[in-house]
Amino acid sequence: MSQDKTIEGKKVIAKFMGLPECDRCKGVCDCFKVGVVYYNPDQLEYNTSFDWLMPVVDKIETIKSKKGHPIFMYLSAKLCTIEEMDIVNGKNKIIAQGKGPRIEAAYSAVVDFITWYNSQPKTPKK
């Protein structure tokens, strides 16, 4: 994955996680606030640290599909899939997939899932 694509992916994750954008630079920078520290997107460690990535996975796994099915992540040494679990029919639908070393596969699948999720029409709240 190119450096530009990696940085864009980190921004996608940061926004999905609800990290506040920098309020010090008046829109000049792309910083995000984590706790009391401001990070440039290239400093966010979602693509290199499971300590950073697993809270994102936890949030993804709380999401239900439009059909009310749970979303789950499967991770092996060289493959990661994020799937919609269809318990009734016994067939899961792959929503996102990443390949490569474990952290790279997970990061790629997470970014692809969030991009897919953000593109879905939102159901109006009642």
pLDDT in tens, 10-65: 999 999 999 888 777 766 778 888 888 888 888 999 999 999 999 999 999 999 88
| pLDDT for residue 117 is more than 70 | yes
Q: Are strands 71-75 and 79-84 parallel, antiparallel or unpaired?
A: antiparallel
Local structure of 80: helix, strand or coil: strand
State how far Cα 28 lies from the chain centre.
25
pTM: 0.88
Q: Are 21 and 43 in contact (CB under 8 A)?
A: no
Q: Which of 75-79, 89-93, 114-118 has the lowest mean pLDDT?
A: 89-93
Q: What six digits make up the tokens of 85?
A: 């679990």
| pLDDT for residue 94 is more than 80 | yes
| pLDDT for residue 126 is more than 60 | no
Which three-class secondary structure string do you get for 48-113? CCHHHHHHHHHHHCCCECCCCCEEEEEECCCEEEEEECCCCCCCCEEEEEEECCHHHHHHHHHHHH
pLDDT > 90 in the chain, percent: 60
